[in-house]
């Protein structure tokens, strides 16, 4: 097995819309013009919630990695705060690709996208729109809003109606948004209330991180209507689908139906839950498969000058 390469991490930002996205850029030390993978997270999550773990491993394998936070969340710009806009997030992906392609310290012709959960759905959409990319990874992807709404259950879905009505009214009246939790305990009104949803989110938070577990309820109709899995058949580049067999948030049966329509799709299945993918043995299995796939598609070069030195992981 090849020894991990050292890498450096840099705080960067790029323009998107009328604001900016904050990001970390991981560069393999000693690699000349490495390929790059762009990482975007799931529903309301920020890059601090274990995107760094994946990015570090990719950089150690010789692949530069840009892990970014969507506008309206975390330390990225955008008003109002916590706004979950599919349109804005897809624009953020486009801006991230343009940023990486314009950089001189990576190979802008060898770029892949990597998305998890809601970001996994975006990765499918983005891959279909950007045939110039070399590869895509969709990890436990959100592929069908209707299927996810049905997984939430009809009673839980009905409980969202009052707060949705209040938020739509507040938008019309120019008032502060009415918020809905991203994740809550079973039976509570939230975008996700499966038994593993709230503890799953909490397990991804590093110590000292402030995470707002809420978004304006106006996003509910667009979530239900968003079906990025339909774009899988239009993805002409190689795409890896990493699917949880017991996913409580993104039903695996529907995801697999979509994945099988991708002309150059590969499917890996795991006996781990939606939120288990980021930690422990499931993480190790996933990142190993993803490195193999990305290495095969991007062809990173080995380190040229710093082999054997300690990793200068600049924070």
The mean per-residue pLDDT over the stretch 64-88 comes to: 96
Confidence grade of residue 150 (pLDDT, cut at 50, 70, 90) = confident
Among 93, 37, 73, CA closest to 214 = 73
Lowest mean pLDDT among 144-148, 208-212, 239-243, 299-303: 299-303
Instruction: Render pLDDT for 266-283 as a digit per residue (tens, 0 to 9).
Output: 999 999 999 999 999 999
**Mean pLDDT computed over every residue of the chain:** 91
Q: In 174-279, which ranges are continuous DSSP H helix?
A: 197-203, 220-225, 252-259
Q: In DSSP terms, which residues pair with 39 in a beta bridge?
A: 67, 114
Share of the chain above pLDDT 70, in %: 92
The mean per-residue pLDDT over the stretch 8-23 comes to: 97
> What is the per-residue pLDDT for 154?
58
Q: Where are the domains of the chain?
A: 7-151+227-298
Q: Are 5 and 29 in contact (CB under 8 A)?
A: yes
Q: Is the pLDDT of residue 310 over 60?
A: no
pTM: 0.92
Q: What's the CATH number for 7-151+227-298?
A: 3.40.50.1820
> What is the per-residue pLDDT for 2?
66
Q: String of b and e for 116-135 (b: at least 16 CB within 10 Å)? A: bbbbbbbbbbbbbbbeebbb
SS3 126: helix
> What is the per-residue pLDDT for 39?
98
Highest mean pLDDT range out of 78-82, 92-96, 158-162?
92-96
């Amino acid at each position: 097995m090849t020894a991990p390469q050292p890498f450096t991490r840099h705080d960067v930002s790029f323009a998107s819309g009328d604001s900016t996205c904050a990001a970390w850029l991981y560069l393999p030390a000693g690699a000349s013009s490495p390929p790059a993978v762009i990482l975007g997270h799931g529903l309301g999550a920020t890059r601090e919630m274990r995107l760094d773990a994946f990015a570090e491993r990719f950089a150690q394998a010789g692949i530069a990695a840009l892990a970014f936070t969507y506008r309206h969340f975390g330390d990225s710009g955008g008003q109002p705060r916590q706004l979950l806009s599919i349109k804005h997030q897809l624009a953020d992906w486009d801006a991230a690709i343009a940023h990486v392609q314009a950089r001189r310290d990576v190979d802008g012709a060898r770029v892949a996208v990597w998305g998890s959960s809601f970001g996994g759905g975006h990765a499918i959409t983005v891959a279909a729109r950007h045939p110039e990319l070399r590869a895509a990874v969709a990890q436990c992807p959100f592929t069908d809003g209707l299927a996810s709404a049905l997984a939430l259950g009809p009673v839980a879905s009905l409980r969202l109606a009052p707060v949705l009505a209040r938020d739509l009214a507040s938008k019309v009246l120019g008032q502060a948004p009415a918020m809905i939790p991203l994740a809550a305990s079973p039976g509570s009104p939230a975008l996700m209330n499966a038994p593993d949803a709230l503890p799953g989110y909490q397990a991804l938070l590093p110590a000292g991180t402030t995470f707002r577990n809420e978004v304006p309820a106006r996003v509910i109709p667009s979530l239900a209507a968003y079906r990025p899995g339909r774009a899988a058949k239009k993805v002409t580049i190689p795409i890896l689908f990493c699917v949880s067999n017991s996913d409580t948030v993104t039903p695996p049966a529907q995801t697999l139906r979509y994945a099988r329509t991708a002309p150059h799709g590969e499917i890996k299945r795991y006996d781990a839950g939606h939120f288990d993918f980021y930690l422990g043995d499931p993480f190790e299995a996933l990142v190993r498969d993803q490195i193999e796939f990305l290495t095969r598609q991007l062809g990173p070069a080995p380190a040229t000058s710093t082999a054997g030195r300690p990793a200068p992981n600049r924070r």
